[in-house]
């Protein structure tokens, strides 16, 4: 089943606050509470809503974050990815298009810890080059 405008509004409201009571969501959408509950259940069953999670405040996240852009040698993707998985400071890895092949998100408690993680990434077999971008301040976060 295709999602309609009401489903999209409902998902947006849940993204803002997934703990909002169904009665509040119903008032906001101008629908009956049972209708909203049924829509939530359908969105969960269809996989549109994959789950609910805890969002940590900035105070509980590691203080240092970096994006590491990585170029790799041909056919070394699985080996490089295995190395990145083994590094506890690497939280997320994406494949990319363009000049770089991978984008890794790294976190650390100290600058030396972040430096160590970035060094381990750069020296991994199959990594041609890397470029690191240290995050200074978050200006917008919709996650």
Does residue 70 share a domain with residue 37? no
What pLDDT score does 1 carry? 60
What CATH number does the domain containing 20 carry? Answer: 1.10.10.10
**Residue in the structure block whose two tokens are 């969501």:** 25
pLDDT at 58 over 90: no
Does residue 12 share a domain with residue 71? no
- pTM (global) more than 0.85: no
Does residue 67 share a domain with residue 40? no
pLDDT at 55 over 80: no
- 11-51 pLDDT, tens digit per residue, is 999 988 899 999 999 999 999 999 999 999 999 999 999 99
Which domain range does residue 102 map to?
A: 58-135
Does residue 67 share a domain with residue 32? no
One-character DSSP codes across the chain: ----HHHHHHHHHHHH-TTS-HHHHHHHHTS-HHHHHHHHHHHHHHTSS--------GGGS-SEEEEEEEEE-TT-HHHHHHHHHH-TTEEEEEE-SSS-SEEEEEEESSHHHHHHHHHHHHTSTTEEEEEEEE----S----
Does residue 128 share a domain with residue 69? yes
């Amino acid at each position: 089943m295709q999602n309609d405008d009401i489903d999209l509004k409902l998902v947006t409201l849940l993204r803002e606050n997934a703990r909002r009571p169904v009665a509040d969501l119903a008032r906001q959408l101008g629908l009956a509470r049972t209708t909203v509950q049924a829509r939530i259940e359908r969105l969960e069953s269809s996989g549109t809503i994959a789950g609910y999670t805890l969002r940590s405040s900035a105070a509980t996240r590691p203080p240092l974050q970096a994006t590491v852009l990585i170029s790799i040698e041909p056919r070394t993707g699985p080996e490089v990815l295995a190395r990145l998985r083994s590094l506890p400071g690497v939280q997320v890895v994406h494949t990319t298009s363009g000049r770089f092949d991978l984008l890794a998100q790294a976190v650390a408690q100290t600058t030396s810890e972040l430096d160590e993680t970035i060094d381990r990434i750069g020296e991994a077999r199959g990594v041609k080059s890397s470029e690191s971008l240290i995050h200074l301040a978050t200006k917008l976060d919709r996650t």
